[in-house]
Amino acid sequence: MKRTKHKDINGWLIIDKPQDMGSTDVVNITRYLLDANKNGHTGTLDPFATGVLPIAFGEATKLIPFITDGDKTYEFTLKFGAFTNTDDIEGEVTKSGGRIPSKEEILSVLPSFVGEIEQIPPMYSAIKINGERAYKLARSGQTVDMPPRTVQIKSLEFLEQIAPDSFRFRVGCSKGTYVRTLGRDIALKLNTFGHLTALRRTKCGFFCIDDTILLENLKNMVYESAWQDSLLPVKTPLRDIAALAISAEDAVKLRLGQGLSAQKYGVLNSTESLMAAYDQDCLTALVRIDGKKISPIRVFNLT
């Protein structure tokens, strides 16, 4: 059976992921809508959560690890008084009747969560335990012993009280942070129970909520020129990385995996260990400056 030829599309679509949809579903829908050959997301966003989900197309998929490793920002609503087995509204209530802390009490404990902290991820997570996803083990009734992990909380802000028992927060954190667990632990610190009723990612690596497009709006774009206006260039997340202008001849060498002379380009023993090499304005490669040599890490086939 002959395979239908799809389009070679390169760049980024930053989707404002709707609630109750998985990240893989967004990948599949956007690939279908753009009739693209290849795409992928930069790390799972829970179906319960909404917000920034960068989708890489074509050559942009080579940069996914750099986005996945970046810091994230979330806004979340924490409701006090009950625990659930998923630490959010999708789970079953396991404990209830907890007291509702005051704003002053909440503000007093937030500083203790800033910096390097240890978390025990929720049982209903995608972490693999002996080769199986933790949430699959939990749903089958098995007891899941979740290993603790160390994460970095860069900032934690109180935003507002939206109901007698519910408060909004903003957190800036490293990859691997479970915001549901953070909410649970804030409640425990206050000697009560709590779970998330809303979770929204507002920043993922270099991309923020202002870069996003609603999936529904993308579905309604009839003409290719319309969604192309929303497609960001492959080089977008490299804007904070130093640029290195190279010749067309050396661009060919990098694409073949060959190294270049650091002295030729004035970066001998440069303090910039990672740079983005460009032939004219065309991204050629991510390169490492290692003493006297410029070595390609990722090469791009763009025109």
Within this chain, do residues 193 and 79 fall inside the same structural domain, yes or no? yes
Within this chain, do residues 80 and 148 fall inside the same structural domain, yes or no? yes
Number of domain units in the chain: 3
Structural domain boundaries enclosing 83: 72-204
Within-domain flag for 103? yes
- pLDDT value of position 297: 94
pLDDT digits (tens, 9 = 90+) for 134-181: 555 455 555 666 778 899 999 999 999 999 999 999 999 999 899 999
**Residue 186 in this model has a pLDDT that exceeds 50:** yes
- Give me the mean pLDDT over the 210-228 stretch: 86
- Percent helix, percent strand, percent coil in the chain, to nearest 5: 25, 35, 40
Q: What is the CATH number of the domain that holds 293?
A: 2.30.130.10
Within-domain flag for 107? yes
Within this chain, do residues 76 and 195 fall inside the same structural domain, yes or no? yes
- Give me the mean pLDDT over the 290-295 stretch: 91
Within this chain, do residues 78 and 200 fall inside the same structural domain, yes or no? yes
Q: What is the CATH number of the domain that holds 45?
A: 3.30.2350.10
Within this chain, do residues 23 and 135 fall inside the same structural domain, yes or no? no
Within this chain, do residues 89 and 199 fall inside the same structural domain, yes or no? yes
Beta strands per DSSP E along 139-188 = 149-163, 166-173
Within this chain, do residues 113 and 188 fall inside the same structural domain, yes or no? yes
Among the listed ranges 77-81, 129-133, 173-177, which one has the minimum average pLDDT value?
129-133
Within this chain, do residues 170 and 104 fall inside the same structural domain, yes or no? yes
Positions annotated as catalytic residues are 46
- pLDDT value of position 272: 79
- pLDDT value of position 258: 96
User: What is the longest distance spanned by two Cα atoms in the chain?
Assistant: 71
- pLDDT value of position 68: 83
- Which of 181, 204, 227 represents a domain boundary (last residue)? 204
% of the chain beyond a pLDDT of 70? 91
- Between 126 and 46, where is the model more confident? 46
Within-domain flag for 167? yes
Residue appearing with tokens 């050559």: 59
% of the chain beyond a pLDDT of 90? 73
Within this chain, do residues 99 and 190 fall inside the same structural domain, yes or no? yes
Within this chain, do residues 197 and 223 fall inside the same structural domain, yes or no? no
pTM: 0.89
Cα 137 from chain centroid (whole Å): 25
- pLDDT value of position 221: 84
Within this chain, do residues 227 and 196 fall inside the same structural domain, yes or no? no
Within this chain, do residues 183 and 219 fall inside the same structural domain, yes or no? no
Among the listed ranges 54-58, 143-147, 197-201, which one has the minimum average pLDDT value?
143-147
